[in-house]
Amino acid sequence: MSQGSATRYPLVLVPGMLGFIRLVFYSYWYGIAEALRRDGATVIAVQVSPLHSSEVRGEQLLARIEEILRETGAARVNLIGHSQGALTARYAAAMRPDLVASVTSVAGPNHGSELADHIHTHYPADSAKGRLLAFFLRLIGAVMGLLDTGYRGPKLPVDIHAGHESLTTAGVTLFNQRYPQGLPETWGGHGPEEVNGVRYYSWSGTLQPGKTDRGRNLLDGTNRSCRLFATTFVREAGQCDGMVGRYSSHLGTVIGDAYPLDHFDIVNQSVGLVGKGAEPIRLFVEHAGRLKAAGL
């Protein structure tokens, strides 16, 4: 077995909104954790509240990190967060940098999501449309809870409003004022590589005609959803993955921000039905090698 991904510290995978570890036999990190393990890495996928604020999710993550350190004997962990999982990981690193060796944001809304802004404007929480959307999200969460075979901990709290507000531009701006570690000083730039002993990295994708609308994505309903969601973007119109803007995703060292991947392709969903030329698993394996080379 190769040891190219055998990092010094365990890789902890943190899911985004409505995230999970495994639904029956379907993994959130489809094929990714297995590929990293085959290449020598210690990989742990964690569960936090599927619908809640980044701070609440971050506190849950900190508790899980402490368990992982006790279980593995490791001194620190490498956090890899997808979507809101990136904000969750950033919070944990800001609060306890002594426990975190690195934070990697994968399609993280590090400056907010224009989709969340659109929903905030057109589906306010106190409106009929807002209440219907909240009901729909609760229903999805309940069904996922019934199908969940990857989490055996205590029931996690849900706050749909707090979760949504945590992803708006205004909500993330407040978050960034409190936890600025790794953020670029200029829009579209790189952030500091290291803050308080924690390394920061990011990568993301964009919808690209001829690539992300071809290949196996033709059979993928989530890609069609991302294309619909992308129509709500104004500042980063044509420069988003359907849910997060290209430049909004920047954090620390930007490995890449225009891979031919929609917001779900980037973690190899759905069931690996990704677009033409997309290799999301390779990005994770390469990044594990990058962390290993950095002594992490």
Which residue range(s) make up the domain with 60?
11-293
Active-site hit among 213, 241, 257, 262? 241
Asked whether 203 and 106 are in contact (CB, 8 A), the reply is yes
The answer to the question of residue 225 being in a domain is: yes
Number of other CB atoms surrounding residue 121 within 10 Å: 10
The answer to the question of residue 2 being in a domain is: no
Whole-model pTM? 0.96
The answer to the question of residue 270 being in a domain is: yes
Q: What is the largest CA-CA distance in the chain?
A: 56
Top pLDDT among 275 and 281 is at 281
Q: What is the pLDDT of residues 89-137, one digit of tens each?
A: 999 999 999 999 999 999 999 999 999 999 999 988 888 888 898 888 8
Q: How far apart are CA 229 and CA 212, in angstroms?
A: 14
Catalytic-residue membership of 83: yes
Catalytic-residue membership of 98: no
We report the CATH number of the domain holding residue 141 as 3.40.50.1820
The answer to the question of residue 4 being in a domain is: no
The backbone region for 250, taken as left when phi is positive above 0, alpha when psi lies in -120 to 50, beta otherwise, is beta
Catalytic-residue membership of 122: no
Whose tokens are 């944001």? That residue is 105
Whose tokens are 């030329």? That residue is 277
Rg (the chain; Cα; Å): 18
The answer to the question of residue 163 being in a domain is: yes
Q: Answer whether residue 1 shows pLDDT above 70.
A: no
Three-class SS state of 85: helix
Q: What is the pLDDT of residues 231-264, one digit of tens each?
A: 999 999 999 999 999 999 999 999 999 999 999 9
Closest CA to 107 of 234, 14, 184: 14
DSSP one-letter string for 120-158 = HHHS-TTSHHHHHHHHHHHHHHHHHHHHB-S--SSPPP-
The answer to the question of residue 5 being in a domain is: no
Active-site hit among 83, 113, 166, 249? 83
**Which two structure tokens, joined as six digits, stand for 40?**
């020598």
The answer to the question of residue 62 being in a domain is: yes
The answer to the question of residue 154 being in a domain is: yes
Question: What total of structural domains would you count in the chain?
Answer: 1
Active-site hit among 105, 263, 265, 270? 263
**Which two structure tokens, joined as six digits, stand for 140?**
């999805």
Q: What is the pLDDT of residues 161-173, one digit of tens each?
A: 999 999 999 999 9
